[in-house]
């Protein structure tokens, strides 16, 4: 275990060190891009890339060169990272637990209501500046262009993504033949113009939150796997840290520490007398 733990930590951190370079490069490339959706992911990518770079560099130097302080920094950051991932996972499950949409009679797709989601998520999409960013992303992705030529029969038989259901069509309950009847407010926000459609509808914001909800659930499962893996790596790192400290002491692994204890001043005198007694008798 003495050499094995250091080799494993060194190899793993060399791999993650190399992996952090394209992550940082992708974040810097997105910073130069004029597409709103890409710049939206720029900050998380850069933060993750630099954190992975620092952790990997400290772990690689500490494990391969027996630098105890570098491994200490590595273990502290790893512990904080494990705690942050656990907190993010719990927060994700709590925030994204409401929602799911409701079935539409006679339709394959579902429709979504904004009030079904957590207040924290609703606050994000109700922020005009934040929503303009999301709206630009949806327009740039041409999500609604895929269903604009659908026939009424296709609307009855085909499924829609949450964003398509909320942003690309008016609510199914809308009845434009009966203009005097009170209807869903989103029915009045709908417009046939390609740049308008139902992008300002609450159903569109609900569809975005449903998409976020599904993605966050997948991310939370990945976070749980990552926490288990990081706890295993952290345990091996603790062994490597002990090895690095032992390498700087006078007691190498496997040696008896009692061999370093100096005998008393009269040890050799009494040993000589004992040898003489055995020779005489």
pLDDT at 255: 47
pLDDT at 233: 81
pLDDT at 126: 92
CA 184, CA 3: separation in Å to the nearest integer?
Answer: 68
30's CB contacts (< 8 A; 6+ apart) are 38, 39, 41, 42, 45
> Considering only CA atoms, which of 10, 8, 14 is closest in space to residue 53?
14
- DSSP-derived secondary structure for 208-234: HHHHHHHHHHHHHHHHHHHHHHHHHHH
- Paired strand residues for 191: 197
pLDDT at 269: 59
147's CB contacts (< 8 A; 6+ apart) are 154, 160, 164, 168, 169
User: Which parts of the chain fold into alpha helices (H)?
Assistant: 2-32, 36-40, 42-65, 68-95, 119-126, 128-141, 152-157, 162-167, 185-189, 202-247, 267-280
Q: How far is CA 200 from CA 131, 174, 220, in A?
A: 9, 16, 29
pLDDT, one tens digit for every residue, the chain (281 residues): 446 667 777 888 887 777 777 767 766 765 665 444 555 556 666 777 788 888 888 888 877 777 778 888 888 888 888 888 888 888 888 888 888 889 998 888 999 999 999 999 899 899 998 899 889 888 888 889 878 788 888 888 889 999 999 999 999 989 888 777 888 999 999 998 988 999 999 999 999 999 889 888 887 887 788 788 888 888 888 887 777 766 655 444 444 444 444 555 455 656 766 776 666 65
> Considering only CA atoms, which of 12, 63, 15, 82 is closest in space to residue 238?
63
For residues 242 and 62, the answer to whether their CB atoms sit within 8 Å is no
- What's the CA angle centered on 72, arms 69 and 78, to 5 degrees? 145
End-to-end CA distance of the chain: 50
Tokens of 18: 């190399």
pLDDT at 280: 66
CA 68, CA 237: separation in Å to the nearest integer?
Answer: 11
110: helix, strand or coil: strand
170: helix, strand or coil: coil
Look up tokens 């026939």; give the residue: 151
């Amino acid at each position: 275990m003495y050499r094995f733990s250091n080799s494993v930590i060194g190899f793993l951190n060399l791999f993650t060190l190399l992996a952090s370079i394209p992550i940082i490069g992708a974040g810097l490339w997105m910073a130069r891009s004029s597409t709103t959706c890409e710049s939206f992911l720029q900050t998380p990518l850069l933060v993750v890339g630099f954190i992975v770079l620092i952790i990997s560099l400290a772990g690689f130097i500490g494990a391969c060169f027996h630098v105890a302080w570098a491994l200490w920094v590595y273990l502290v950051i790893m512990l904080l990272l494990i705690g942050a991932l656990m907190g993010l996972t719990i927060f994700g499950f709590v925030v994204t637990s409401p929602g799911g949409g409701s079935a539409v009679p006679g339709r394959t797709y579902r429709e979504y209501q904004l009030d079904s989601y957590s207040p924290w998520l609703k606050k994000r999409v109700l922020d005009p500046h934040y929503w303009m960013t999301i709206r630009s992303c949806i327009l740039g992705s041409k999500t609604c262009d895929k269903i604009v030529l659908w026939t009424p029969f296709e609307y009855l038989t085909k499924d829609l993504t949450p964003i398509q259901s909320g942003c690309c069509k008016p609510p199914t309950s809308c009845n434009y033949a009966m203009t005097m009847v009170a209807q869903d407010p989103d029915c009045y926000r709908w417009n046939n113009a390609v740049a308008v459609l139902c992008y300002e509808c609450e159903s569109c914001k609900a569809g975005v939150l449903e998409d976020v909800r599904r993605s966050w659930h997948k991310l939370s499962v990945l976070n749980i796997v990552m926490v288990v893996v990081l706890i295993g790596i952290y345990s091996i790192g603790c062994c490597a840290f002990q090895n690095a400290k032992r390498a700087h002491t006078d007691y190498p692994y496997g040696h008896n520490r009692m061999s370093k204890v100096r005998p008393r001043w009269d040890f050799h005198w009494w040993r000589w007398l004992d040898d003489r007694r055995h020779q005489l008798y």
